[in-house]
Structure 1
Amino acid sequence: MKGTIRKCFFLIISALLFISDVYSQNEEKTAVDTISNLVEQQLNTVSITAKKPLIQRKGNKVILNVANSILAAGNSAFDILSKAPGVTVDNEGNISLKGRRGVSILLNGKLTYLSTEQLTALLRSTPGNSIESIEMMSNPSAKYDASGSAGVINIKLKKNQSDGTNGTITAGSGYGKYYKYNGGLMLNHSVNKVKLFGDYNYSENKDFQDLNVNRSNTSGGEQTYFNQKGREVYLHKDNSYRVGIDYYLDDKSVLGFSMNGSFKNVNVNSENRTLMGNKPLAYDSSVVAINPGSSKYTDQTYNLNYKITIDTLGQEFNADVDYAHFYSNNKTVYNNYFYNAFENPLRAPLIYRNATPSNVNILVGKVDYTLPLASKMKLEAGAKNSYVRTDNDFKFENLQNNTWNNDTLRSNRFIYKEKVSAAYVNLHKEYKSTTIQVGLRAEFTHSEGNSLTEKLMVKRNYLDLFSSVFINHTITPNHEIGVSYSRRIDRPDYQSLNPFLFFSDLYTYNQGNPFLNPQYTNAFEFSYGYKKILNATLGYSRTRDVITTTLLTDSVKKTLLIKDQNMANEETVNLNVSVPLAISKWWSTNNEITLYHTNYTTPELMGAPFKSNKLTWLVNTTQTFQLNQTLSAELTASYQSAQIYGTYKVKPIYGIDMGLSKSFFDNKMNLKLAATDVFNQRKANISSAIKQQDYKLYQKPETRVFRLTFTYSFGSKLIKAVRERANGSSVEQNRVKSN
């Protein structure tokens, strides 16, 4: 079966090389604008069939219209995000935008407040078919939370605006090394003043990851070489749901309630062998580790929203109250067996286990107010209070005489509390050919990190001001320039503040740092646009006390320690150029290149000053082919050159994705066939940027996957007439304006 599928995709590649047409972005925009103008003149309902381009640029936003992408079918939000323009995701799940780390991830405009591990689990359990678009902002305004030194990525979920009852059924299957399955149902019902919506999605995904580590350790003149090879096989079972109701009190105000959540179970079978010796390739002993594990993640989020449009000039008031609860628990048993060079047992096995239950509670309240002051001038203001409490209870047990005994020296309970009170003001003014926006945001932070086991508490109180400036100027109808500045913050992840050790295996572990400070970034950006077919940005940012993940060798214990530390400074210069081209009527392409130079410095690391820098470039090209009215194809290729992340270096990463989409029965039914990483090339090769260290890490997850996804839409497809679009494209304003 695998051979047949591969041959089919190689035939598709050959065919795509001879195709040479699709509508240009300008033609698509013209079509959409024309239809929108016609709709606004109609009293009756109409059916809209024009679709948005895959990638759009609006002001300081780059928008990836996921709902139109073939390659999104069957994938999770995490998979899609890793392929977004200018976005890179490393092996630990850390997200970078235009070469800069510290990105805030928002879901429907709301901050997630999660650790990297919990955020990765949430994104992996969010199905791609529930996403409308992904917005990327490298310099967001003061209206957004100041967290996220590299900018903000907002994942907008679908919400149907049709009248009547409708829905969509999704089912899919995939194959890489193992089979994958997914299915879902989305329903909407709208009548008079009430709108109900909900969806449920399930996926079962089995995959694997290979991890090889070669390193050497020098202690007291003695050198030891380690060669570790292992594979982890995962079985993910993900469930996610969302329900909500909007009640229109009158023509100007709406009250809404929504609830969404997910529950995810992961079973892991991990096996690796570590060979050791005092010479390369001459090993005198080994450790075989068989580490079965399981993880459980659940989350529930509740939102109560009230919005009123006070007058026809655009005066609005919006209020939100959110409560969220997240629970996770990772359980792993570590079975370590020791052998000599002749594969005979060297000593008794070492068996231990750990559990890491974590509870996160989040309560947020915020209000936003918009006041038009004069012609093409408006004032935005708002306030927000958030409270986050996390409880991490790390349990470590040793197996002794067939009995599990708690290891008090390695167990730990850590509670973290954080309160942030914020207020902002934005002033927006449009002139004949110039738009100016200035903003100021104030945030007061109180945090407490309490290690109950060590009786160690770290408290912090700090007030910060964050300013932002945006100026856009249209020189001629074909030339547009802009300049922006923003100051932002990244607070330490509460998991990284926990001072205790988290074992990955016998020779690799993580340790938190309770004395981490927040990092602050000043970012500047200059942009230029030509005929909306060429967009370029030149940016510079400087971050002090940059939080960096370091891989450090303990020469005495002969272990590898992963720990977050504050380095002195990070400076990044980046250039991004995007060129959408219309090769012919039915072949369009979007091409993007990003170059960035990053420089890390710190006065002391492992007993010596440290400095690392590198010029890196990212290339991404997306080809879209409209073969006929019901058949389309996509091909995406990406290349990331060698780069540096703080204390480690990463070799180039590249791959090709492709897919076909066929619609039936007046676009009510759709089949999508997609292949990610067709040539199975995406892998991570990592080495140390610290001269005193010697390690090489190879990481290869299952990236080549073939997927077939079926969707069927049923029910009403009629769009409400003029008044629903009276305030533009904003989903929230559309709701207020309807009955």
Structure 2
Amino acid sequence: MILRYKNLQLFTAFLLVSLLVSSRLKAQTKAPVYLIKGKVLDEKKQELMYALVNLYHSKDSTLVTATLTNEQGDFSFSKAPEGSYLIEIVSMGYQKKFHGPFVVNPGYQMISIENILMLPETKQLNTVDILAKKPLIERKNGKVILNIASSTIASGNTAMEILSKAPGVTADNEGNFSLRGKTGVNIMIDGKLTYLSTTQLSNLLRTTPGSSIQNIEIISNPTAKYDAAGTGGIININLKKNSSYGTNGNVQLGAGYGTFYKSDIGISLNHRSKKVNIFGNYNYANNKEYEDLFVRRSTKALESATYFDQEAKQNYFKRNNTYKAGLDYYLNDHQIIGFMASGYVNNNKITDHILTRIGAQPGITDSTVLGNNPGKSTFRNQSYNLNYKAVLDTSGQELNVDIDYSRIKNTEQTIYQSEFMNANGIAFKNPLIFRNATPTKINILAAKLDYSYPFSPKLKLETGLKSSYVNTDNDFQSANFQDNSWINDPAKSNRFTYKEYINAAYASLHKTFEGGTNVQVGLRTELTRSEGNSITLQSVLKRNYLDFFPNFAISHSLSKDHDLGFSYSRRIERPGYQSLNPFIYYADLYTLAQGNPTLKPEYANALELTYGYQKKTNFSLAYTKTKDVIATTLLTDTIKKTLLLYEQNLASRSTISFNINRPFVLTNWWSTNNDLTLYYSRFSTPQLMGVPFKNGKTTFILNTTQTFQLHKTWNAELAANYTSSQAYGTYVAKPIYGIDLGISKSFARERANLKFAINDVFNTREIKINSAIPLQDYRLTQKQESRIFRLTFGYSFGSTVIKPARERANSSELEQNRVKTGN
């Protein structure tokens, strides 16, 4: 599919306007400008590449502009007005170097500074090396940053496990994340939304190794530059990038054992030269996992009641392949064009054995159903990205364009085999055998343009456009096994297609005032057009709506030790594609899930007040009001005796939260970071199952991490977390807690690293929920394989000369976040 002609017109017009504005602003500069250029060398008198060069007014040391040296160590400032200047050169591993002051005027129209020599930075006290290490948790520009790369435990966990233990973050049994009590959290990878459904995203995160993560950014109130999706905020996972010049790579091998063995292997290669950057990686994981599920419930109809006691044992066999390859070509020092292809091929098998005891009284079995439900699935994705980036001048004027296309093909099939026994274990009717097959095709096309213009070092405008198109085709096929053959069941089959167009534009203005005050104000608008078509039911639902999403943030430094901030944002959460499909999916004979094509998007208004003390202790107080909350409800059919998982809109959710984070350095070898969140969240709707509904609860979340520097090359880490009982839509989750432990050893001049980790040392993590609806009676316990012993070995090879890594922002990440991956 291609973007509509009007969308192309819109992008072309915006690009022309941006370039005209840039040219007009340049044309209006009537004052004469002069050239400042120079060359920077290292201690061996070789060209020093990509050193940061800052240009200051010598009178008051205010920053005028900045640039980087190129591959030949050269730099230049081509728009310097008449005046007196000072230059500062900064490069990792070298001492800062100043040059000047010097004057540019009609008598000195060009200043040439040749062979500025940089000296290596050495920091030693007697025989003790001073090593710089990022703290585990930082707060910058309204973000909470978790520096996962320095964590020993992270290498033994998946992204899903790390996120579920992040400060203020919780995950339910379906993989839905909440941030300080707020659901509707959007997960981004490398600044790009993934467009996956809840199930698909949780599967992806469960096979993303923690060792591949650089850091995680938690953003409670994102700016207008981000997609408006995510009423609970955004969590951005930044993967590791190879930043070395030359040819280099990394190999990682891992093995684990819990109840079953696990293994993984990954390799990444990178080559950087003056004009070309070529990169690629491949990862393979072969895992066997288990999950135990216990459900106890009852249904009441008139004067009678039926009691169910279910036990399910599920084993998963997963073989996952992920890959990425790309090329960046440097047209010149200021323009880059790049192409990237990525994807995955995931093959899964599942064995599911279910024992269901049924009786008219608690604890008494009148009949039994034995279920054996084998399944298999294949998930394939191919994505392509074309990117162009231009630095239009040395003041920081930039243009960035991304075009993305993704094609996703999923195939799932489950056979349901049920045998019926009486109280004596004798079959009283024929077995029931049927199967469900769900082939799904998804096409995603997205394009975005971002433009930034700094009016001055203290005033910057960011603006841009984005357009996306998604087309899904789900052909749900059900068949019954009769007379030794499969016969299609049209009454249970359904084909559902969905189309969605989103066109967006944004503008954001950043201003720094004298006295330490920073203000950011932005506005994003999104026009959404969608069409859901149940072909089998001959039912079409079209929607067309325009929304505005303002945001505002202000921060002020009261003094050296005190910082104060306030922010506001409005956001949206659209239903996942699969949630709109009205077909019925069977977990077992008595537990069903059904999509809801009438689901509406939810909207949230969020306020947050922050306070920082001595750059270490951070406090925040936040309030969020959400309307038309999308919640998974568990509904009981008293006639069919089934439990239905059904998403619908509740009227509202109100959440107020308080958070405090404080690191401590206890000794020169022991440090700790502690995070406490206390929140109250309440769901309410005027009518649910015929009566008003309210569900509210106060919850606290505690995360503590202890880091030990046992030796120069030995590190250990212990992490503990506890989440008290909390409210989730129409049910209540019981407390969950656990402890993780890890130790690492580096050697071979820090190119090699060996890590051993134990996840959930005491095997305590399990999910327990029960109904918050008075008329319902169900209790569910879900225990996944959580205590796992892992050993990971990593080795880096090749060049270690640092060059800034190439970053790009995929424009279709949000749409892919709503697609199933099967990880």
**Alignment counterpart, residue 130 of structure 1, candidates 204, 207, 212:** 212
Say yes or no: does 1:648 pair with 2:731: yes
* Match in the other structure for 1:449: 532
**CA distance in structure 1 between the aligned counterparts of 2:225 and 2:133, rounded to whole angstroms:** 30
The answer to whether the 8 A contact 1:442-1:466 is kept is: yes
1:157 is aligned to 2:239: yes
| Farther-moved stretch of structure 1 (325-334 vs 203-212) | 325-334
The answer on whether the counterparts of 1:335 and 1:349 sit within 8 Å (CA) in structure 2 is yes
Match of 1:686 in 2: 769
- The equivalent of 1:497 in structure 2 is 580
SS at match of 1:144: coil
Mapped pair 1:545 → 2:616: no
Q: Give 1 or 2 for the bigger CA radius of gyration.
A: 2
Give, in whole Å, the separation in 1 of the partners of 2:326 and 2:263: 27
How far apart, in 2, do the equivalents of 1:455 and 1:364 lie? 29
Distance 2:806 2:183 in 1: 29
1:47 is displaced (CA, Å) by: 11
Greater shift, 242-251 or 521-530, is seen at: 242-251
The residue that corresponds to 1:345 in the other structure is 427
Which residue does the alignment assign to 1:56? 138
Q: Does 1:711 align with 2:767?
A: no
Contact 1:105 1:152 in 2 (8 A): yes
- Contact between 2:508 and 2:522, CA under 8 Å: does it hold in 1? yes
Q: Which residue number in structure 1 is paired with residue 717 of structure 2?
A: 634
**Retained in 1: the 8 A contact 2:166–2:703?**
no
1:166 to 235, 248, 258: 248
Aligned residue among 389, 396, 400 for 2:478: 396
Task: Give the Cα separation in 2 of the matches to 1:71 and 1:618.
Answer: 20
Instruction: Give the 5 Å matches for 1:351-390.
Output: 351-390=433-472
Q: Counterparts in 2 of 1:393-542, with a 5 A limit?
A: 393-432=475-514, 433-542=516-625
2:156·2:756 contact (CA, 8 Å) conserved in 1? no
| Residue identity opposite 1:599 in structure 2 | R
Cα distance in 2 between the residues matched to 1:336 and 1:76: 35
What amino acid does structure 2 have at the position aligned with 1:654?
Answer: Y
Distance 2:383 2:139 in 1: 31
Greater shift in the superposed pair: 454-463 or 216-225? 216-225
Q: Is the 8 A contact 1:217 1:225 kept in 2?
A: yes
Kept after mapping to 2: 8 A contact 1:121/1:297: no
Q: Is the CA contact 2:94–2:120 (under 8 Å) kept in the aligned structure 1?
A: no
- 8 Å contact kept, 1:480–1:529: yes
Which moved further from structure 2: 115-124 or 150-159? 115-124
Q: 1:40 to 1:732 in 2, by over 3 A?
A: farther
What is the match of residue 101 of structure 1? 183
Q: How far does residue 172 in structure 1 lie from its aligned partner after superposition?
A: 0.9
**Rounded Cα–Cα distance in structure 2 between residues aligned with 1:39 and 1:259:** 40
Give the one of 632, 639, 651 matched to 1:568.
651
Of the structure 1 ranges 39-48 and 367-376, higher mean CA displacement relative to structure 2 is found in: 39-48
For the 8 Å contact 2:275–2:331, the answer to whether it is kept is yes
Please point out which of 325, 346, 351 is paired with 1:264.
Answer: 346
Distance in 1, matches of 2:560 and 2:690, equals 58
CA distance in 2 between partners of 1:591 and 1:36 (Å): 30
- Cα 1:622–1:154 shift into 2, 3 Å: same
- Report the equivalent of 1:229: 311
Aligned equivalents of 2:539, 2:453: Cα separation in 1? 48
> Shift in Å at residue 485 of structure 1?
0.1
Q: What residue identity is the alignment partner of 1:365?
A: A
1:419-452 CA distances to partner (integer Å, 9 max, x unpaired)? Answer: 0000000000011310000000000000001100
Whole-angstrom distance in 2 between the partners of 1:520 and 1:555: 34
Question: What TM-score comes out, normalization by structure 2 length?
Answer: 0.82
Q: Which residue of 1 aligns with 2:225?
A: 143
Of residues 741, 744, 749, the one that matches 1:666 is 749
Aligned partners of 1:421 and 1:443 also within 8 Å: yes
Q: Deviations over 1:196-229 (max 9, x none)?
A: 1111111111110000100111112111111001
Indicate the residue corresponding to 2:686 in structure 1: 603
Question: Equivalent residues in 2 for 1:220-369 (5 A)?
Answer: 220-369=302-451
Structure 1 counterpart of 2:759, from 652, 660, 676 = 676
- Matched AA of 2:759: T
What secondary structure sits across from 1:73 in the alignment? helix
* Range that drifts further, 389-398 or 59-68: 59-68
Distance 1:665 1:540, change over 3 A: same
More displaced stretch, 376-385 vs 82-91: 82-91
User: Does the 8 A contact of 1:45 with 1:719 survive in 2?
Assistant: no
Give the superposition deviation at 1:124.
Answer: 2.7
Output the CA distance in 1 between the equivalents of 2:122 and 2:788. 35
Query: Are 1:38 and 2:121 counterparts?
Result: no
Task: Give the partner amino acid of 2:452.
Answer: T
- 1:731 shift after superposition: 5.0
Q: Which of 161, 170, 173 does residue 79 from structure 1 map onto?
A: 161
Q: Output one character per residue of 1:464-509: Cα deviation in whole Å (capped at 9) or x when no partner.
A: 0000000011001100010000000011111111112111110000
Distance across 2 between alignment mates of 1:731 and 1:276 = 57
What is the deviation of 1:523? Answer: 0.3
What do you get for the CA RMSD once the two structures are aligned?
1.8
1:17 aligns to what?
none
Deviates more, 1:271-280 or 1:85-94: 85-94
1:56 and 1:39 mapped to 2: Cα distance?
25
| TM-score, length basis structure 1 | 0.92
Contact conserved, 1:458 with 1:514, CA < 8 A, in 2?
yes
Where does structure 1 lack aligned partners over 5 or more consecutive residues? 1-32, 734-739
Question: Alignment partner of 1:72: what SS?
Answer: helix
**Higher mean displacement: 82-91 or 365-374:** 82-91
The one of 150, 173, 192 equivalent to 1:110 is 192
Q: Indicate which of 59, 66, 76 corresponds to 2:148.
A: 66
Give the Cα–Cα distance (whole angstroms) in 1 for the partners of residues 532 and 121 of structure 2: 57
**CA positional deviation for 1:46:** 8.2
Residue aligning to 2:279 = 197
Q: Distance in 1 between matches of 2:692 and 2:527?
A: 34
Match of 1:218 in 2: 300
Tell me if the contact between 1:168 and 1:711 (Cα under 8 Å) persists in the aligned partners.
yes
For these two proteins, the number of residue pairs brought into alignment is 694
**1:713, CA displacement in angstroms?**
0.8
Q: Please say which of residues 366-375 and 691-700 is displaced more in the overlay.
A: 366-375
| 1:730 positional shift | 8.9
CA distance in 2, matches of 1:588, 1:348: 65
Residue 315 of structure 1: how far off its partner (Å): 0.6
Amino acid at match of 2:195: Y
Q: 2:765, 2:783 within 8 Å by CA — same for their partners in 1?
A: yes
Instruction: Provide the C-alpha distance between the structure 2 equivalents of 1:163 and 1:618, rounded to a whole number of angstroms.
Output: 43
- CA distance in structure 2 between the aligned counterparts of 1:44 and 1:366, rounded to whole angstroms: 42
The answer to whether the Cα contact below 8 Å between 1:47 and 1:718 also exists between their aligned partners in 2 is no
- State the Cα deviation string for residues 12-59 of structure 1 (Å, max 9, x = none): xxxxxxxxxxxxxxxxxxxxx998483654648889974322222112
Q: Is the 8 A contact 2:268 2:280 kept in 1?
A: yes
The verdict on how the C-alpha distance between 1:74 and 1:260 changes in structure 2, with shifts beyond 3 A counting, is farther
Would you say the 8 A contact 2:387–2:808 is kept in 1? no
Contact 1:479 1:530 in 2 (8 A): yes
Q: How far apart are 1:82 and its partner, in Å?
A: 1.9
**Partner AA of 2:491 in structure 1:** L
* Distance in 2, Cα, partners of 1:364 & 1:118: 20
Name the % identity.
Answer: 53
Q: 1:523, 1:542 within 8 Å by CA — same for their partners in 2? A: yes
Assess if the C-alpha contact under 8 Å between 1:45 and 1:718 holds in 2: no
